Structure 1
Amino acid sequence: MPKSYESWESYFYPETYDPDTRQGTLRNLFGERDRELLKQFEKVETASRLYELESNQVAIERTFDSAHLRALHSYIFQHVYEWAGQYRTVGIAKGYSSFADVTMIDRYLNDAHDLVERTEWNTLDKTGFSAQIATVYALLNQAHPFREGNGRAGKAFLHHVAQLSNYTLRFDQITPRQWNQASALSGPDLGSYEVVPDSLIPVFEQISTPKATVRPPLPGIGEVPQIKKLDHPTRHAAPQPRQSRGRSHGYGRGM
């Protein structure tokens, strides 16, 4: 990476950092110092990238491992942060939830990969599918490998997992609050390693829809989707932003 991110403060523009709250504006490729404006720019930019992923305009190797997740994050945030696709170098917490130490990120992602690989997704009914994919996401969420954008990258990863099954995921069927609360409760108990996905299972039961009843997103009239090959989390050709069209499956900031 062009800049070294070795401390919590190093991720922020120094002039925006408040040592009391330990917050500020993240360094970004827009050069934007206003935190709220950055959120708006980020939301618009990542929505375009997520739509391209959802409508299968981007070919990312489906290995369901850390490289797969990093490639997704790199694609989604390529025009926002220079560290897109790179693991965070600092500890991170949200509310009362503390995520994996940086030394434990790969262990959680390896467990998620192993679970995806050993599950016969196309044989599962809705109950079984919801239980398995809830566990996959609980592991991804606890890993929380990136400084920002874990939810969006995680959802894109789940979308790929769901394509192995008879179901699709409709994140627009729940509120951000429902999703965030269930995610927060899925972390390990104090002093434990094991995730507790119970709170996520009813959420996935709510948003899982049989594929036969879901109409896939379509490109705009006269537009032929161009497949972009991406086989490395940090090396790819940057696409030109495009206007999002069609129905979204609920990928959104903060979820």
Structure 2
Amino acid sequence: MPDENGFIDPYLIRGNNVLVNLVNAQTQEELLYAECLLVTYSSAQLRGEHLEADGTISQLCSIHHALFQEVYPWAGKFRTVDISKGGQTFLPVAFLETGSRYVESILRQDNMLKDMDRETFIKRLSVNYDNLNNLHPFREDNGRAQRIFWELIAHDAGWHFDWGLVTKSFNDQASITAMRDDNLTLLIQMFDTIVKPLDEPLVAGPNPKALSNGEYVPTQTIGIMLDPAEYPSLFERYAGKNAKS
């Protein structure tokens, strides 16, 4: 159904808020269950391939496609609608190509985060992680693709992530705070918790843990129609963040 502005999200099944999918799921619960089964297997398979990082958005697209190709017909493809999550608007579609080039250029300037001591690696990783998170190029499931993307970067730089030492809610809050407030403190804190040298074993696993008391509730990404009048302020906001990278 159209939203209050008359916008119809083409990614949703007509008549409900479930994403168009390849598993015939008609409810959010059915979709999440199928996702969990299929993507858990795809993630393990992808991590087992030991890919070499190239630091490109093209590689991120390939990762997203590998993870979600059995779930979504648009897996690995740039979104065609503007999106928001938790009240935060991600980079508008009109800026995705420019934003992608910027993300890649900063990562190249940082030499793919290689040859850094741990403190510098964590600080520059936080900057680059925030840059990519602002991009959010896919309609849904950006986070899981991004985590594998950064795992490849980290591995080639001599590090790996013990993701299970942080909760999903802390991961979300760190990302939101960086994006909303231009404050990387929580991201730096998160990575300081999970970044380990490759010769130090992981103890908690490859995925952020959900809270055992059921407190964590995932926030759904929604498609939106931005007013063109909003573009200048959004462009200024992202340009300001980029200038500090």
Asked if 1:250 corresponds to 2:212, the answer is no
Between the two proteins, the alignment pairs up a number of residues equal to 205
Match for residue 188 of structure 2 among 181, 196, 201: 201
Does residue 179 in structure 1 map to residue 136 in structure 2? no
For residues 112 and 63 of structure 1, do their structure 2 counterparts lie closer, same or farther at Cα, with a shift above 3 Å needed? same
* Aligned partner of residue 116 in structure 1, secondary structure: helix
| Aligned residue in 2 for 1:26 | 19
Structure 1 unmatched runs, 5+: 1-6, 17-23, 190-194, 217-246
Partner of 2:64: 73
> Residue 114 in 1 paired to residue 101 in 2?
no
Measured in 2, the distance between the counterparts of 1:212 and 1:113 equals: 28
Structure 2 unmatched ranges of 5 or more: 1-6, 211-217, 220-245
Deviations 1:126-169 (A, max 9, x none): 11111111111101110011011100011011011102212101
**Structure 1: distance between partners of 2:67 and 2:161:** 19
In 1, the alpha carbon distance for the partners of 2:36 and 2:128 equals 25
Report the residue type matching 1:82 in the other structure.
Answer: P
Residue 128 in structure 1 maps to residue 120 in structure 2: yes
Question: Residue 72 of structure 1 contacts residue 157 of structure 1 at CA under 8 Å; is this kept in 2?
Answer: yes
**Does 2:210 align with 1:210?**
no
Q: What is the rounded CA distance, in whole Å, between the counterparts of 1:155 and 1:250 in structure 2?
A: 9
Q: Percent identity?
A: 25
Superimposed CA distance per residue, residues 90-118 of structure 1 (whole angstroms, 9 cap, x where no aligned partner): 11111131110011223332222122222
Q: Which runs of 4+ in 1 moved over 4 A?
A: 251-255
1:26 Cα deviation (Å)? 0.6
Q: For each residue in 1:18-72, what CA deviation from the matched residue of structure 2 results, as whole angstroms up to 9, or x when unmatched?
A: xxxxxx1111001111211111111121111111122226x5x633112111111
Alignment of 1:1-255 (within 5 A): 8-16=8-16, 24-56=17-49, 59=51, 62-120=53-111, 121-187=113-179, 196-214=183-201, 248-250=205-207
Task: Look up the equivalent residue of 1:14 and give its one-letter code.
Answer: R
Higher relative contact order (CA 8 A, sep 6+): 1
Q: Which has the higher helix share?
A: 2
